[in-house]
Structure 1
Amino acid sequence: MPKIVDHDQRRLELVDATWRIIAQHGIEGATMREIATEAGFANGALKPYFPTKDHLITFAFGHVFSRTNQRIASAVANKVGLEAIRAFCQEVLPLDQDRINEARIVIPFWQKTLTDPAKAALHDTSMNQWRSALEGHLRQARDRGEVTAGVHDEDIVNQLMSMLLGAQIIAATSPGKHLAAQLSTQLDSYLLLLNPVALTVRC
């Protein structure tokens, strides 16, 4: 009787193998043969799922984005305003090895977006989803009096996004530069600046 193959599960296994290979050897070392070997498959077994490494990197980006969103949804549940913003950001910041490995998947995808309009559109859609969520939490924070800074919400969201994505680059390329505790402190320090009145009282 022929073996029934769970194609979705196999794709995830290949993505996980890609993750491990890139974490160990970087994107240039992640050959299709090595990925297949890491996943325990014959080299030809990848072709029906990912004809090229380019296809695999795109799927891996989507997988990482989905994983991150699942963590964010869990972290911000029952939280509002500034607390929700902090919880959101902590799930994107590379605060542990898994999230550093996620950054190592995302960065090669960013490079592809420079010359591939479809990948650029996928990235824009993903990042706009994050911006929209942060804007919603920021409006709540304004309504609750937790954010009083005379800065446009759009600028605050863009600053947060720059902080989060920049931290991913640093963690992937210079992991010893910013430790998890430092990143958390930087985030808290920035969020404190959003309420100058509270900051004045605290000082």
Structure 2
Amino acid sequence: MPKIVDHDERRLELVDATWRIIARNGLEGATMREIALEAGFANGALKPYFPTKDTLLEFAFGHVFNRTNQRIVKVTEGKTGLPALRAFSMEVLPLDEERINEARIVIPFWQKAINDPQKAALHQQSMDEWLTTIRRYLAEARDNGDIKAAIDDAALAGQLLNMLLGAQIVAALAPAGHPGPGLDEQLEGFFTLLTR
């Protein structure tokens, strides 16, 4: 009897293998052959799922974004305003090995997105979603009287998002075992400025 293949599961196995290879060897070291070997598949097994490394990288970016969003949903459940915004931000900050590896996937994706309209649109759609969420939490906090800063919420949302995205680069470039210089303290500094 032929083996039944779960195609979604196989795609995730390949994305996880891609993630590990990029984290270890960088994007250039993530050849289709190496990814197949890491996932325990024959080289040709990737083609039906991801015809090119670019399509695999695109899927990996979407997977990282979705995983982050799933964690955000869990940590913000029942929270609004500043507590929700803090929980959201802490989930995006690359403070542990998993999130640093996510940054190592996202950064090569950004590099490709510079000259690829499809990848740029995927990135913009993802960031628009996060900006909408950040603005909602800021508006709730302002309505609660928790935000005192006389800066427009749209500017604050952009500032926070830029800080979170910049932290991805800092953490990815930091030496192994050092997640970067006080990213959580910098975030707390931002929240302190909001309430003054």
Structure 2: gaps (5+ residues): none
Residues 34-56 of structure 1 show CA distances to partners (whole Å, capped at 9, x for unaligned) of 00000000000000000110000
Equivalent residue for 1:164? 164
Describe how 1:63-78 pairs up with structure 2 within 5 A: 63-78=63-78
Describe how 1:183-194 pairs up with structure 2 within 5 A: 183-194=183-194
- RMSD (Å), alpha carbons: 0.9
Equivalent residue for 1:8? 8
Equivalent residues of 2:95, 2:179 under 8 A apart:
no
Residues 66-94 of structure 1 show CA distances to partners (whole Å, capped at 9, x for unaligned) of 00000000011111111111000000000
Equivalent residue for 1:115? 115
Equivalent residue for 1:95? 95
- State the distance in 2 between where 1:119 and 1:82 align: 32
Equivalent residue for 1:201? none
Q: Does 1:178 align with 2:176?
A: no
Give, as a single letter, the amino acid of the residue that structure 2 aligns with 1:8: D
**TM-score, normalization: structure 1?**
0.94
**TM-score, normalization: structure 2?**
0.97
How far apart are residue 174 of structure 1 and its match?
A: 2.1
Give, as a single letter, the amino acid of the residue that structure 2 aligns with 1:14: L
- State the distance in 2 between where 1:133 and 1:151 align: 18
Residues 126-169 of structure 1 show CA distances to partners (whole Å, capped at 9, x for unaligned) of 00000000000000000111101100101100110111000001
- State the distance in 2 between where 1:108 and 1:189 align: 29
Equivalent residues of 2:146, 2:195 under 8 A apart:
yes
Structure 1: gaps (5+ residues): 197-203
- State the distance in 1 between where 2:194 and 2:87 align: 16
Count of residues in Structure 1 that have an aligned counterpart in Structure 2:
194
SS of residue matched to 2:48:
coil
How far apart are residue 177 of structure 1 and its match?
A: 6.7
